[in-house]
Chains A and B, each alone.
Chain A
Amino acid sequence: MSERVPILKIGDVLLVSIQFDLEDQMVMDLQEDLSQRIVDTGAHGVVIDISALEIVDSFVGRMLASTAAISRVLGAETVVVGMRPAVAMTLVELGLSLGGVRTALNLEQGIGELRRSRRNGPVPR
């Protein structure tokens, strides 16, 4: 039985805080749990906090993108928050840009972003 990533509910936003390096099974579990919670709670937004991650590779990058896509299908916007500078630089060097995933500096900004996009539609880049 592998560990599961906790999913917290704050109002109509779900908060996923990833505290350790993920393995394949945990990612599968997380996506399953998250989609179930979105349906159950009718949440309109998901915040994924990766401020504890020191290493983000293409695997985690793909995980973030697919999680965002799943949430969007279920009607919830996803914002990835708290990426560290070193992580951003590594991803750029790897040629990954996390296209299609919205990002914010920290949890506060992320929730603000979700709230804004709910009020007046997604902010165009």
Chain B
Amino acid sequence: MTNVGDSDRLLGLLTEGREEFTGQWVRSVTSTLAGRLPAAEVQQDLHELYPALLDALRSGGLATRDESYGEVRSLLTELSRNRARQGFSPTETAFSVLSLKDVLEPALTAGEDVRAYLQLARVLDDLGLYTIEVHAKTREEIISAQAEQLLELSTPVVKLWEGVVGVPLVGTLDSARTQVVMEKLLQSLLDLNATHAIVDITGVPAVDTQVAQHLLKTVVAARMMGAECVISGIRPQIAQTIVALGIEFGDITTKATLADALRHALDRIEARGPVEIGGLL
């Protein structure tokens, strides 16, 4: 700390105007959030933050990386996390801290306290940046958790009939998902002793060459295991896109609806008849 006098006066002012500053601060933050967060919650957050900040300034001075700011940091972490989860932007989150500068400006720049104000401003800038950092980190966590959930949710394999399994695909196919779908499909072919598989793409929003490539891979893998594979759920627009893009499904059977595909599979099973091996022996 370079100037003990400045810091003391600053602390004095902040402690003295405590009620007034906090009130203004709460009003300022509430108005920027435009009623999207209850005033009571803002009030509670800031009423905890303000004394913590005072304590930190008193014991740790201006070194925001110091241990004495631990309390402030943990409060800010919680605040940013909540804001990120509630869908507030980074600016709105950081403003919760930075608006304290606006509140303090008239009171602190009136006399000879400009220097103290600038020092405090630096502290608040640091804390503001910290909230943005936490905000961004929280958003990333949310996104990766959602991606994981999606992967789990969107790849069920269901038994449709004796010897027939279905895979209703929902969402765009990328290589990671193709891998998961393929793995589950092939394993269930084995487990259920299924000779027919139906891949239903009703829930796939668009089929481009990439997606078609992944579908083909899945079908070819199922074939190599010894199962027949039918692609169903091709909507009219998708059929047009497939032809326009020149995608070749080769000798893979495709059907418009899952019902058609199931009928096709059942017909095939009937045509084959039961597996007889007794006569060979």
A residues sitting closer than 8 Å to B (CB atoms) are: 10-13, 79-81, 83-85, 88-89, 91-93, 97-98, 103-106, 108-112, 115-116, 123, 125
Which residues on B sit within 8 Å (CB–CB) of A115?
276-277, 279-280
Closest to B251 in A: A125
In contact, B273 and A11 (Cβ under 8 angstroms): no
In contact, A116 and B281 (Cβ under 8 angstroms): no
In contact, A89 and B221 (Cβ under 8 angstroms): yes
In contact, A109 and B220 (Cβ under 8 angstroms): no
Majority secondary structure, A binding face: mixed
Given contacts A83-B226, A104-B226, contact A88 B221 (CB under 8 A): yes
Q: For the complex, what is the distance from the CA of A11 to the CA of B279, rounded to whole Å?
A: 9
Which residues on B sit within 8 Å (CB–CB) of A116?
272-273
In contact, B224 and A105 (Cβ under 8 angstroms): no
Cross-interface CB contact of B275 among A13, A85, A108, cutoff 8 Å? A108
The 10 A-B residue pairs whose C-beta atoms are closest, nearest first, are: A85-B186, A112-B275, A11-B280, A104-B226, A103-B226, A88-B221, A105-B226, A92-B221, A88-B224, A111-B277
B245: Cβ under 8 A from any A Cβ:
no
Which residues on A sit within 8 Å (CB–CB) of B275?
108-109, 111-112
Q: For the complex, what is the distance from the CA of A60 to the CA of B279, rounded to whole Å?
A: 32
Closest to B193 in A: A105
In contact, A89 and B182 (Cβ under 8 angstroms): yes
In contact, B280 and A111 (Cβ under 8 angstroms): yes
Given contacts A89-B182, A97-B220, A125-B251, contact A109 B280 (CB under 8 A): no
In contact, A13 and B225 (Cβ under 8 angstroms): no
Given contacts A112-B276, A112-B277, A123-B272, contact A92 B224 (CB under 8 A): yes
Closest to A119 in B: B273
In contact, A89 and B226 (Cβ under 8 angstroms): no
Which residues on A sit within 8 Å (CB–CB) of B220?
92, 97
Majority secondary structure, B binding face: helix
Which residues on B sit within 8 Å (CB–CB) of A98?
224
Cross-interface CB contact of A88 among B225, B272, B279, cutoff 8 Å? B225
Q: For the complex, what is the distance from the CA of A101 to the CA of B203, rounded to whole Å?
A: 33
Q: List 21 A-B contacts (CB under 8 A).
A: A80-B226, A81-B226, A83-B225, A83-B226, A85-B189, A85-B221, A88-B222, A91-B221, A97-B220, A98-B224, A105-B193, A105-B195, A105-B227, A106-B193, A109-B226, A109-B275, A111-B275, A111-B277, A115-B280, A116-B272, A125-B228
Candidate in A11, A92, A103, A109 with the most chain B CB atoms within 10 angstroms: A92
B85: Cβ under 8 A from any A Cβ:
no
B110 to chain A, nearest CB (A): 72
B187: Cβ under 8 A from any A Cβ:
yes
A113 to chain B, nearest CB (A): 8
Interface residues of B in 185-224 (CB under 8 A from A): 186-187, 189-190, 193-195, 217, 220-224
B183: Cβ under 8 A from any A Cβ:
yes
In contact, B224 and A103 (Cβ under 8 angstroms): yes
Which residues on B sit within 8 Å (CB–CB) of A104?
226
